Amino acid sequence: MYARTSWVQPSVLPGFGLAFGTAFAFVTLIVVIPIAALVLKAGSLPLAELWRIATEPRALASYRLSFGASLLAATLNAGFGLVVAWVLVRYRFPGRRFVDAVIDLPFALPTAVSGIALATVFGPNGWIGQWLAPFGIQVAYTWVGVVVALTLIGLPFVVRSVQPALEEVEASLEEAAESLGAGRWTVFRRVILPTIAPALATGFTLALARAVGEYGSVIFIAGNLPMRTEITPLLIVIKLEQFDYTGAAALGFVMLCMSFTMLLAINAVNAWRTRRHRGRR
């Protein structure tokens, strides 16, 4: 017998070489090369210049809006998306299938269309905007509008992640908690929520990632005032329109780093939780 030194896990499925090669080539072509090009372009700038562009007041304001609004939208989605998923999984009501299908619409709709629709509805004379205006609440063309747009496009991510997890919560777990004297709220908080937490975290992460990169729907409702309602992707487009390719690349690089760090952090927390709960065997 000889010790197997390969890092390839023995598997009943043949064709590891072919599958791995295809996957590697695909990811390289579609993800790694474009990003490398971006990094190279940004890297062509002297470090001080890169720092100057990245920390311009207008750029800083756009980061704050982009990441702040995205976090807020993803948090809202985590809360309400959970409720939507709960209703869809736990109750049988007329029109359930319809609601279930509607959830996916933000996936399919061109983002510009949803942006324009939102701007119309939430505008000062829009269906909803006209009722909010008397209270001094303005949604369209403010940061609130940005959050609304980002919430819309992020909702399906949370619902679709949580739904299967909720469906798989064993009835006996809830029954056990009840037989031990737990009330409904306790059952939810101490038994159901911890069980679906990983799925909820995944949904949150996906919604956040999508929101940070969103462009189409936001620019129609945001008003795009520099320093106030201008998101980073828009700022990049503006720089491109001015043929400031290196400037655009610099901002893109900053976004790349921040997004990557954020996703890595969330995944790390999630992995730690999962490892803690599903057996260090």
Partner 1 sequence: MSITLEQVSKHYDGTAAIKDVTVDIADGELFVLLGPSGSGKSTLLRAIAGLTPIDHGRIVMHGRDVSGISVREREVGFVFQNYALFRHMTVAENIEFALRARRVPAAERRRRRAELLELVSLQGLDRRLPSELSGGQQQRVAVARALAHQPRVLLLDEPFGALDAKIREELRRSIRAIQRAVGITTILVTHDQEEAFTMADRIGVMDRGRLQEVGEPRELYARPKTRFVATFLGAANLLLGRYEGRGVRVGDSVFPARHPSGSMPTPGTEATVVVRPEDIVIGGGDPGSGARRIGVARVSELEFVGSQERVRLALKANAATVSALSPEAGELVIEAARSAREAEADPLVVGQITPIGAKRIHVLPTRISSLRLIATSDAAAERLQKSRLVRDLSEYMHLTPTVHRARDGASMARCLSGLTVVVPEQGRDPRRVAALLHTGARQILVLLRDERPVQRILIYTQPARSARDSALSAAGSLLRHLDVDATLLVPADERLLYGRRYRDLLDIRRSALQMHGVDVRTECFTGDIIDDLKRRLHEDVPTLLLVGVTSTNGRRALTRGLTELAACPSCAAVLLTSARSDAERGVAAPTFTHVPVATAV
Site residues for partner 1 per CB under 8 A: 170, 172-173, 175-183, 186, 190-191, 194-195, 197, 276-281
Minimum distance, C-beta of residue 69 to partner 1, in the bound complex (Å) = 32
Question: Residue 193 Cβ, how far from partner 1 at the closest point, in Å?
Answer: 10
**How many residues appear in the chain?**
281
Tell me whether residue 96 or residue 189 sits nearer to partner 1 (CB atom): 189
Shortest approach of partner 1 to residue 184 CB, angstroms? 10
List the structure tokens of 140. 């369209």
Of the candidates 185, 174, 163, the residue with the CA atom closest to the CA atom of residue 88: 163
Q: Cα–Cα distance between 111 and 105 in angstroms, integer? A: 11
Query: What Å distances lie between residue 83 and 48, 171, 193, CA to CA?
Result: 48, 18, 12
Distance CA 218, CA 112 (A): 8
Q: What minimum distance in Å lies between the beta carbon of 132 and partner 1?
A: 42
Judged by CB, which is closer to partner 1: 125, or 179? 179
CA separation (Å) from 86 to 58, 77, 123, 199, 265? 41, 13, 32, 13, 27
For the CB of residue 270, give the shortest distance to partner 1 in the complex, in Å: 13
- Cβ-based nearer residue to partner 1, 58 or 190: 190
Min dist CB 171 to partner 1, Å, is 9
Based on CB atoms, which residue is closest to partner 1, 75 or 195?
195
Strands (E) across 59-116 are located at none
Distance of CA 23 to the CA centre of its chain: 24
CB-nearer residue toward partner 1: 170 or 241: 170
Q: Distance from CA of residue 194 to its chain's centroid?
A: 21
Give the SS3 label for residue 280. coil
User: Which CB, 114 or 161, lies closer to partner 1?
Assistant: 161
Residue 206: partners with Cβ closer than 8 Å, 6 or more residues away = 154, 157, 158, 161
